[in-house]
Amino acid sequence: MRKLWRYGIAVVTVGAALLITKSLEQYTDITPLFYAAIVISAWFGGMGPGLLAVVLATVALDYYFIPPLYTLRPDLKQISFLLVFGILAVLTSWMSAKRKRTQEALREARDELELRVEERTAELRQANESLRERGEALQEVQTELAHVTRVMTLGELTASIAHEVNQPLAAIVTNGNACLRWLGGASPNLTEARQAVDRIIKDSYRASAVISRVRTLVKKAPARSDLVDLNDVILEVLALAESEARRNHVLLKQQLAGDLPFVHGDRVQLQQVILNLIINGLESIAKSNSGSRELSISSTKDEANNVVVAVRDSGDGLDPANLQRVFDAFFTTKADGMGMGLAISRTIIESHGGRLWATTNAQKGAVFQFTIPVDGESAT
């Protein structure tokens, strides 16, 4: 049906050209309208209808305009005219059809492009959305972890805070009493009394500073006992620490034992310990400005049936005098440190029946490692 319509264009346009040219014969040249008919046919119908228009136009010219009129046998003189017309007509038809095809191909290509751009945009939007969701989930995990740091250790924390605050308070009370005694009696000693009051003021600030340091820390989460694959925990934590490592240009390495037994413990707390050790290592490397920037974490099983996790950094290492002290609550070498991380970590590990200790790395930096005993029934 559509094909018939395309060829019909050729018939109709050539017919129209013939009628108009015939009626205006004495005012115009005979070929332009026929060319127009061929161009239109080729444009709208394609190459086939274009060629049909050429044939019809040549026949019409020969029959109606070329002497002898009304015959299909042209004068010998006119054959060259018809020949030239025919060739030009074919060329015209071909160019028109081709032009049209090119344009259509272009439009199709453009349409397709638009479609694809739309599709890709939708895909991107979706990817963005899921990224955002994952970012939120990650943030939640981080927040949760951060929360845990402050939490589980309530026992340790309150003991430490109590000690830290009580110390200056005891000094204040004692100085207060001393001051009263220096003021009493027959000849009050104002110099001594004044010095005691100065110390009272100093210790009051000290107590207040302790309180503001710990004000941010609060709450409590009950320890759980899960079967934990420490390799899994390490990988999760490494994923969390990755951006921090990249920011500090530190290479994270891992050496995980393939056949690591499961241990019993609180997954989140153990995550916390490992994260704490890794972050400490990264901070130590960040502070140091020489040599390799590498942090490696390994897991193994020792002969005593313990899982051993070691975190080695290439930072400046520990002062041998501080190897033990770093685990004391409120001991810190960082300007903004609370001095709680390692104290808490040691508490966690000990509550799992293990040990956490520090050594100096053979080459450079520090090694923090902990053991968790594998109990027989939970080993897999």
Partner 1 sequence: MSNAEAMVFVIDDDESMREALKSLIRSVGLRVETFASAQEFLESRRPNVAACLILDVRMPGLSGLDLQRDLVERNIHIPIIFITGHGDIPMSVRAMKAGAVEFLTKPFRDQDLLDAIQQALDRDRLARSHQAETAELHHRYQSLTPRESEVFGLVVKGLLNKQIALQLGTSEITIKLHRRQVMEKMDAASLADLVRMAERLSK
Interface residues toward partner 1, by CB under 8 A: 159, 162-163, 166-175, 177-179, 181-182, 189, 192, 195-196, 199, 202-203, 206, 325, 328
Q: What single string gives the DSSP state of each residue in 292-332?
A: --EEEEEEEE-TTSEEEEEEEE-SS---GGGTTGGGSTT--
Nearer to partner 1, 148 or 172 (CB): 172
CB 227 within 8 A of CB 262: yes
Minimum separation from the CB atom of position 178 to partner 1 (A)? 4
Nearer to partner 1, 98 or 206 (CB): 206
Nearer to partner 1, 285 or 358 (CB): 358
How far, in Å, CA of 134 to CA of 88, rounded?
67
Minimum separation from the CB atom of position 199 to partner 1 (A)? 6
CB 370 within 8 A of CB 355: yes
Minimum separation from the CB atom of position 378 to partner 1 (A)? 33
DSSP H or E stretch at residue 281: helix 267-287
Nearer to partner 1, 138 or 159 (CB): 159
Minimum separation from the CB atom of position 319 to partner 1 (A)? 15
How far, in Å, CA of 334 to CA of 67, rounded?
111
Minimum separation from the CB atom of position 219 to partner 1 (A)? 22
What is the number of H-type helices and E-type strands within the chain? 9, 7
How far, in Å, CA of 324 to CA of 105, rounded?
78
Longest CA–CA separation in the chain, Å: 158
Helix axes 76-151, 47-64, angle to 10 degrees: 160
Q: Is 130 helix (H, G, I), strand (E, B) or coil?
A: helix
Minimum separation from the CB atom of position 163 to partner 1 (A)? 5
Residue 250 CB-half CA count within 13 A = 32
DSSP code of 378? Answer: G
Nearer to partner 1, 164 or 294 (CB): 164
Nearer to partner 1, 167 or 288 (CB): 167
Minimum separation from the CB atom of position 180 to partner 1 (A)? 8
Minimum separation from the CB atom of position 208 to partner 1 (A)? 14
Nearer to partner 1, 107 or 194 (CB): 194
Residue 235 has phi, psi (to 5 degrees) of: -65, -40
Nearer to partner 1, 174 or 248 (CB): 174
Minimum separation from the CB atom of position 200 to partner 1 (A)? 9
Whole-angstrom CA distances from 302 to 123, 260, 378 are 50, 10, 16
Q: What single string gives the DSSP state of each residue in 20-33?
A: HHHHTTTTS-SSHH
Q: Is 264 helix (H, G, I), strand (E, B) or coil?
A: strand
Nearer to partner 1, 181 or 264 (CB): 181
